[in-house]
Amino acid sequence: MIKKCLYVNRRAPYGTSYALEAIDAVLIGAAFDQDISLLFIDDGVFQLKRDQDTTDVEIKNFSPAYRAFDMYDVEKLYVSEEAMAARGLKKRDLVVDVEVLSDSTIRDLMDEHDVIFTF
Amino acid sequence: MSILHTVNKSPFEKNNLESCLRYAKAGSAVLLIEDGIYAALTGTTFEAKVMTAMEALDFYCLAPDMKARGFTSTKMIDGIKLVDYAGFVDLTLEYDKVQAWL
């Protein structure tokens, strides 16, 4: 049975391993043909910032992975409008095309999924 | 005694920066590193707080951490100085001690 899975990302990249682990979990879910949506709220919106360059910190830059998601049929990416505004981010600052949702819409989005994984 | 305060957590997620600013004395410095660099950005809900703190404290931001997270000096509050790793070392020598707000 295909379940509707929502992966909620709420941490900044690199400071902790949550963001990278979420990517791994999403790709595993995709391999099992689950119906996947990704949501970025709180500091999670920083994961999608374009122009990340980790050369000088010697950590792998995993932000290109977000652009590869559509090859795994992971095409539903949502971000919180309020989280973006609080952090001075605009849609054009992001590395992938996303749907910007208000927090009240996000409440419904969470409601309509069968499973929610939060990272 | 002047202190170099390092802050390595996002101000949106943890209160490290706020605690640091509450206790830092005038003439001290704050160095934003790792996820702490998000406090240096313009257009955020923390911008005003940082700008007020800058009246009494010197602010620095670690460039490699800024670059890793996709930001450049153009998105940084005016007056915050970018330093590289060598500059970080210089700062630790310039101040009497380092207080790491973990």
Residue A22: pLDDT band with limits 50, 70, 90 = very high
- Å between B18 CA and nearest CA of chain A: 17
Strand ranges in A1-114 using DSSP code E only, listed in sequence order = 4-9, 35-40, 76-80, 99-101
* Assigned superfamily of B3-101: DsrEFH-like (3.40.1260.10)
Q: Tell me which chain A residue has its CA closest to the CA of residue B72.
A: A51
Residues from B contacting A (CB-CB < 8 Å) are: 8-10, 12-13, 34-35, 38, 41-45, 47, 63-65, 67-72, 75, 84
Type and span of the H or E element at A82 = helix A81-86
B76 within 8 A of B54, measured Cβ to Cβ: no
Question: For residue B10, which residues of chain A lie inside 8 Å, CB to CB?
Answer: 12, 15, 43, 46
Residue A6 pLDDT exceeds 90: yes
Domains of chain A with CATH codes: 4-118 (3.40.1260.10)
As a whole number, mean pLDDT of residues B46-58 equals: 98
pLDDT given for residue B38 in this prediction: 98
Residue A20: pLDDT band with limits 50, 70, 90 = very high
Torsion angle of C-alpha atoms A55, A10, B53, B94, degrees rounded to 10: -30
A88 within 8 A of B43, measured Cβ to Cβ: yes
Residue extents of the structural domains in chain B: 3-101
Closest C-alpha to B59, from B97, B19, B17: B17
For residue A113, the SS3 value is coil
Test B10 with A12 for CB contact under 8 angstroms. yes
Chain A, window 11-50: residues with a beta carbon less than 8 angstroms from a chain B beta carbon: 11-16, 42-43, 46, 49-50
